[in-house]
Amino acid sequence: MKLPLFAAAAAGLANAASLPVERAEAEVASVAADLIVRALPNAPDGYTPTNVTCPSTRPTIRDASGISTNETEWLKVRRNATLTPMKDLLSRLNLTGFDTTSYINQHSSNISNIPNIAIAASGGGYRALTNGAGALKAFDSRSDNATNSGQLGGLLQAATYVSGLSGGSWLVGSMFVNNFSSIGELQASEKVWRFDKSLLEGPNFDHIQIVSTVEYWKDITEEVDGKADAGFNTSFTDYWGRALSYQLVNASDDKGGPDYTWSSIALMDDFKNGQYPMPIVVADGRNPGEVIIETNATVYEVNPWEFGSFDPSVYAFAPLQYLGSRFENGAIPDNGTCVRGFDNAGFIMGSSSTLFNQFLLQINSTSIPTILKDAFTDILEDLGERNDDIAVYSPNPFSGYRDSSEDYATAKDLDVVDGGEDGENIPLHPLIQPERAVDVIFAIDSSADTDYYWPNGTSLVATYERSLEPTIANGTSFPAVPDQNTFVNLGLNSRPTFFGCDPKNISGTAPLVIYLPNSPYTYDSNFSTFKLTYSDEERDSVITNGWNVVTRGNGTVDDNFSSCVACAILQRSTYRTNTSLPDICTTCFNDYCWNGTTNSTTPGAYEPSVLIATSGAMKTVLDYSVLAVAMGVAAFML
């Protein structure tokens, strides 16, 4: 599977001197201390959804004819908050011949003319979490060296939306539920992101109060039983989401935040003040016995205020914090009660990643005690027989909302499954809704499309083909992309590629998509989706590789790449304002935009080799704090 390495010049990576170990260790202590337990566990009764007094304005379902009032009001704050980080970012991206700061200042009075940026992190288990983490770390101005000349730090701060699906939802959820923590903080933490022990066995932290795998699953089972005893249907995803939370949510009780809700993100002061982007998790709807294909799946999104879909099959949104309430014809009856606590953060992340069959197969290969293994296997097998390898959203908030023959309009419960089951493994659907007017999407693809777990553009193809189906596209447009064979034959799956560079050639309004496929720059990051344990060295090596994927090895492979990113960010904005981009952008678009060429012949086995040989200088450049952590476990990869 592995081919010989070939060395590329690493000078572009060695842009900082190594730090003394003592200073690095001090930075680790500082970073670790910054991951403060979030102060907003707001579910009324832990994991159990609970009846509460309804607000004076009773919750209702709304049509998906636009974005919510909450999002509209938040955007007024957030879009203006992106101006400073966007100017800082663009000023560092070497766009010779174009005064980016003056351009942003000139058009800031009309915020709709300012670039509207989104980031999408695909599914793919822990491979997707860690590869996507490397990208977000490179995009984050808080990361060491991310704001050096030519670096992409600040892109995250300049973005309006960040979406995640399956393993990408774990990444996005873990960041946002934990006070919008940086990737470096999550890596340095002793309480989350410790993937060296499988979530089937429980946490592996010295300070943890749980003393055994038996007690770990006993606690999880009791929490799920509490939800069931309160009258709510439960499924495999309740167990799955609770187990995930122990690794992803930094809660004071060390039990994965059973009282942390997704809707509480909207209550955080920094979020309300527009200090960071809006997180969106994507999942698919599936009726019992249904086989999902690209053109029949209902794509659901969960944002901080709502759960619902823009698709014609549902075309409605429910207030997220009141899921679990019984809505009738779009409203909670006067004699009905409101429910809160259904939208547990782990359950939301688990809804996007229902890997039931593979999870069940893993049980016999773990060190779970036999007595618990037998009992838990029985639980999961029973759930599988009842088709509960899904997340059950019960009662269905959209039942009776509109006169429709669609199952989603009449079903007692909604069944929600892994967001990648329809082939759209990159969560682009919320970002191409015309109401959100996104200009450019950084699409991080950690999919396992090939025999050796590398992406081949399948997700983009699925999104494009869906956009051509008039019965379900519902006004969305997407740039044309080639078939998967062309992706491989032309190398579009081994380097960044831009799609939709010329808006005049697109039917409708579609964003420019910067496709960032997982590829081995400094590390073979193609682990199986169902690998459930990662050493710290493996975790950090994939994260470092992800940084290199989105920066082209910090410019080592192409020192013009940062300028090309600036051109892509500005393209739609300058088109609207009738402003000419500098000559470097013509070169960039020639180099990175897909020009319509295809080669659909069947490619051979796709086995890429590591592009950049590692060197001591390169290993010090990205994150000294992680270096110190790694040194503590006798590792040296960042």
Give the bridge partners for 79, in sequence order.
none
Contact criterion met (CB below 8 Å) for 363 and 377: yes
End-to-end CA distance of the chain: 24
Least confident of 439-443, 465-469, 528-532: 528-532
Using 50, 70 and 90 to split pLDDT, how confident is the model at 380? low
**pLDDT tens-digit map of 215-243:** 888 899 899 999 999 999 998 889 899 99
Q: Is the pLDDT of residue 21 over 60?
A: no
Q: Encoding tokens for residue 370?
A: 């036999």
Q: Residue 604's pLDDT band (boundaries 50, 70, 90)? A: very high
| Overall residue count recorded for the chain in this entry | 638
Give the C-alpha separation, 137 to 121, whole Å: 13
Looking at per-residue pLDDT, the higher value among 560 and 383 belongs to 560
Closest CA to 246 of 207, 196, 193: 193
Query: Half-sphere exposure of 7 toward its Cβ, with a 13 Å CA cutoff?
Result: 7
Helix (H/G/I), strand (E/B), else coil: 37? coil
Mean pLDDT across 374-398: 72
pLDDT at 354: 81
Residue 529's closest CA among 128, 121, 120? Answer: 128
Task: Compute the distance between CA of residue 132 and CA of residue 142 in angstroms, rounded to an integer.
Answer: 16
Cβ distance 410 to 338 under 8 Å? no
Q: Is the pLDDT confidence value at 1 over 50? A: no
Largest CA distance in the chain: 71
Q: Which residue has the higher pLDDT, 429 or 505?
A: 429
pLDDT digits (tens, 9 = 90+) for 330-340: 999 998 999 99
SS3 content of the chain, % helix, strand, coil (to 5): 40, 10, 50
Helix ranges restricted to H, 290-354: 345-351
DSSP 446-489: ----STTS---SHHHHHHHHHHT-HHHHTT--------HHHHHH
Q: Are 125 and 422 in contact (CB under 8 A)?
A: no
- pLDDT band, very low/low/confident/very high, at 296 (cuts 50, 70, 90): confident
Q: How far is CA 491 from the centre of its chain?
A: 25
- Higher-pLDDT residue of 190 and 487 is 487
pLDDT tens figures, 524-547: 999 999 888 999 999 999 999 999
Query: Would you place residue 508 in the very low, low, confident or very high pLDDT band (cuts 50, 70, 90)?
Result: confident
Which one is predicted more confidently, 629 or 236? 236
Question: How high does pLDDT run on average in the chain?
Answer: 86
Determine the pLDDT at residue 279.
98
Residue 309 pLDDT class (50, 70, 90 cuts): very high
Residue 117 near residue 59 (C-beta atoms within 8 A): no
Average pLDDT over residues 37-49: 87
Please check the confidence at residue 8 and state whether its pLDDT lies above 50.
no
Q: With bands split at pLDDT 50, 70 and 90, how would you rate the model's confidence at 286?
A: confident
* pLDDT the model gives residue 432: 98
514 - beta bridge partners? Answer: 442, 498
Band of the pLDDT at 622, cuts 50, 70, 90? very low
pLDDT given for residue 6 in this prediction:
26
Q: How confident is the model at residue 58 (pLDDT cuts 50, 70, 90)?
A: very high
Residues 6+ apart with CB under 8 A from 277: 78, 119, 156, 159, 160, 161, 162
Helix (H, G, I), strand (E, B) or coil at 338: strand
Indicate the pTM of the whole model: 0.90
Please give the pLDDT value at position 255.
86
Q: What is the pLDDT of residues 567-576, one digit of tens each?
A: 999 999 999 9
C-alpha 441/C-alpha 556 separation (Å) is 23
Residue 398, token pair as written in the block: 């959209």
The residue with greater pLDDT, 372 or 354, is 354
Distances (CA, A) of 253 to 198, 208, 214, 258: 20, 9, 18, 9
Range 363-379 average pLDDT: 61
Token code pair at residue 308: 């619902």
DSSP 603-635: P----PPPSS---HHHHTTS-HHHHHHHHHTT-
**Residue 386 confidence (pLDDT):** 55
Banded model confidence at residue 629, pLDDT cuts 50, 70, 90: very low
Given a cut of 50, whether residue 16 has pLDDT beyond it is no
> What distances in angstroms separate CA 198 from CA 365, 368, 543, one per listed residue?
11, 10, 19
d(CA 327, CA 89): 46
Q: Which residues are 298's β-sheet partners?
A: 285
Res 379: pLDDT: 62
User: Using alpha carbons only, what angle is made at residue 247 by residues 245 and 248, rounded to the nearest 5 degrees?
Assistant: 65
Written as six digits, the tokens of 614 are 């590692």
Which pLDDT score, from 0 to 100, does residue 495 have?
97
Tell me which of 117-131, 403-417, 548-562 is least confident: 403-417
- The residue behind tokens 């809704």 is 433
**Which two structure tokens, joined as six digits, stand for 443?**
């699409």
Q: How far apart are CA 411 and CA 409, in angstroms?
A: 6
Q: Could you tell me the domains of the chain?
A: 21-632 (3.40.1090.10)
The DSSP annotation for 109-155 comes to TSGGGS--EEEEE---HHHHHHHHHHHHHHH-TTSTTTTSTT--TTH
Percent of the chain whose predicted confidence (pLDDT) is above 90:
69
| Tens digits of residue pLDDT in 259-268 | 999 999 999 9
Joined together, the tokens standing for residue 633 give: 């476990």
Considering only residues 516 and 407, tell me which one the structure prediction assigns the higher pLDDT. 516
